[in-house]
Amino acid sequence: MPESIENKHQPVMVDEVLDGLNCRAIENEGDAGKTYVDCTLGLGGHSEAILQTSTAKDQLIGIDRDGIALQMASERLKKFEDRLTLQKGTFSTLKKIMTTLKHETVDGILFDFGISSYQLDTAERGFSFQKTGPLDMRMDSESGETVAALLNRLTERELGLLIRTLGEERWASRIASRIVNTREETGPITRTEELENIIWRATPAKARHGRIHPATRTFQALRMAVNHEIEEIEAGLEAAVSLLACGGRLVAISFHSLEDRTVKHCFRAWEKATKYKSEHKFINLHKKPIIASPDEIARNRRARSAKLRVLERAA
């Protein structure tokens, strides 16, 4: 992997992930080793830390829907190839992947939701309004509908609802109206800079200079829509909790309220169910999410919004 890209990729809350997964175990004679699953392999930062910290008998399965990221991570983790299995897939295919690999249970599962720094920084992927490029935003660039196609297909009402729901955008109706008017007047909207300009003009002047750029929430909403992110998160968590061995840990890192709310509600539901009729017992190890330290946030701005939660199967 080129050094410049590796240096840009800083996985968040690495120590907290290692603690959450409890993968600093001492190797015991006769121990068959543990199996960890990184469901958001990305460029392999968290996986590398897990492999470096865990024992020589432990195995890691890395999954990502982004084929390019898988190739890059494969190079980064080449020195661990005897302990590593890489698979292309989404969260909703987790159970199928594990069945194919003949793993009924695993000891630790990690989710690091959202998009990677690499994806944001690659202009042709279209994730960032700060980069000029095509409105794509697909995590798997080989399949699915692009944001451009979605943007030019939906009605004004549908766009407004999507931006309000997934982006929690106050000015969703104004933005949707401006998008539809623009495409009717000048044709399809296909570029990140076009959409950023539309959102800027749709946002009232007094609201353009807040804590975040006016385009942030709309870009987030459209990205989440084309990648079916909330549905994938729910499906992935359901599959993950069914795969945990006794004593196994599920670690989830979220970056905005919709993701964290989904994780929180799932964890609470599973913990509550154990008090009644569930055959397994789950413990939500932290009532409040763990957040990054001030030092880490100073080094890596992406960590400022990260929230980490841990669920353990106790029986």
Residue 28: the pLDDT is 66
- Residue ranges, CATH 1.10.150.170, the chain: 140-226
Q: 3-118+229-313: CATH homologous superfamily?
A: Vaccinia Virus protein VP39 (3.40.50.150)
Which amino acid does the sequence have at 61? I
> Average pLDDT, whole number, for the chain?
93
Q: Alpha-carbon distance 263 to 238, whole Å?
A: 10
Q: What is the pLDDT of residue 7?
A: 55
Q: What is the DSSP string of 45-71?
A: HHHHHHHHHS-TT-EEEEEES-HHHHH
Q: Where does the pLDDT of residue 157 fall: very low under 50, low under 70, confident under 90, or very high at 90 and above?
A: very high
- Any idea which residue has 């660039």 for tokens? 141
The answer to whether residues 73 and 47 touch, using CB atoms and an 8 Å cutoff, is yes
Give the pLDDT of residue 4: 44
Tell me the pTM.
0.93
Confidence tier at 293 by pLDDT (50, 70, 90): very high
Span 140-226 CATH architecture: Orthogonal Bundle (1.10)
The tally of CA atoms less than 13 A away on the side-chain side of residue 264 is 15
pLDDT band at 24 (very low <50, low <70, confident <90, very high): confident
Categorize the per-residue pLDDT at 29 as very low, low, confident or very high, splitting at 50, 70 and 90.
Answer: low
Phi, psi of 63 (to 5 degrees): -125, 140
Q: What is the spatial distance between Cα 88 and Cα 77, in angstroms, rounded to a whole number?
A: 16
* Domain(s) of CATH 3.40.50.150: residues in the chain: 3-118+229-313
d(CA 310, CA 271): 12
Mean pLDDT across 265-285: 83
pLDDT at 276 over 80: no
Residue 274's pLDDT band, with cuts at 50, 70 and 90, is low
Higher pLDDT, 40 or 274: 40
Q: What is the pLDDT of residue 6?
A: 54
Give me the mean pLDDT over the 281-304 stretch: 94
Quick: pLDDT tens for 170-205.
Answer: 999 999 999 999 999 999 999 999 999 999 999 999
Model confidence at 1: pLDDT above 70: no
The whole-angstrom separation of Cα 173 and Cα 93 is: 35
The mean per-residue pLDDT over the stretch 81-89 comes to 97
Determine how many CB atoms are found less than 10 A away from the CB of residue 102. Answer: 6
Helix, strand, coil fractions of the chain, as percent rounded to 5: 50, 15, 35
The answer to whether residues 38 and 89 touch, using CB atoms and an 8 Å cutoff, is no
Q: What is the pLDDT of residue 25?
A: 60
